[in-house]
Amino acid sequence: MGSTPVLRTAALLLAVCCTAGCGSSQNTPVEDAARAFYDSVAGHDGEKACALLAPETRSELEQSAGRPCAAALLDEKLPTVARPVDVRVFGTMAEVRYADEVAFLTRFGHRWTLMAVGCRPDGDRPYDCQVKGS
């Protein structure tokens, strides 16, 4: 009997916390990493952008293009982005949504890296991404 209001309050707090991604502070490093990547691409600094890719994504790009990462990445003609529309973080994974672009990030140590970029929706299927790991 007495536990019902307590549980309701706990559920509400949990839902509010989870809806907010348990605090926006964890979104900032994700947003910063994505911004640094797209700024490097827009500035044609392929080396710097490649340094922000996840290891698996970088090696997959080099392997499929048969060229060094920097050149292969700039060839992809990734879109330029403005401010993110939404940032979602769950454990070691994150998604940054822009108006016409979606990026997936993964955490390595304390550093967020780009796992898939140039992603477009494909109905109920996973996003179709220009650059991604295997």
Q: Is residue 19 a contact point for another protein (CB under 8 A)?
A: yes
Q: What is the greatest pairwise CA distance in the chain?
A: 67
Of 30, 73, 116, 131, the one binding another protein by CB under 8 A: 116
37: tokens are 């990547």
Q: Is residue 7 a contact point for another protein (CB under 8 A)?
A: yes
CA distance 48 to 41: 8
Q: Is residue 92 a contact point for another protein (CB under 8 A)?
A: yes
Q: Is residue 2 a contact point for another protein (CB under 8 A)?
A: yes
φ and ψ of 112, to 5 deg: -90, 135
Residue 134 Cβ vs another protein, minimum distance, rounded to whole Å: 7
Question: Near another protein by CB under 8 A, which window of 23-31, 43-51, 54-62, 71-79?
Answer: 54-62
Q: Is residue 25 a contact point for another protein (CB under 8 A)?
A: no
Q: Is residue 1 a contact point for another protein (CB under 8 A)?
A: yes
Q: Is residue 132 a contact point for another protein (CB under 8 A)?
A: yes
Task: Tell me which residues touch another protein (CB under 8 A).
Answer: 1-3, 6-7, 10-11, 14-15, 18-19, 54-56, 88, 90-95, 104, 106-109, 116, 119, 126-127, 129, 132-134
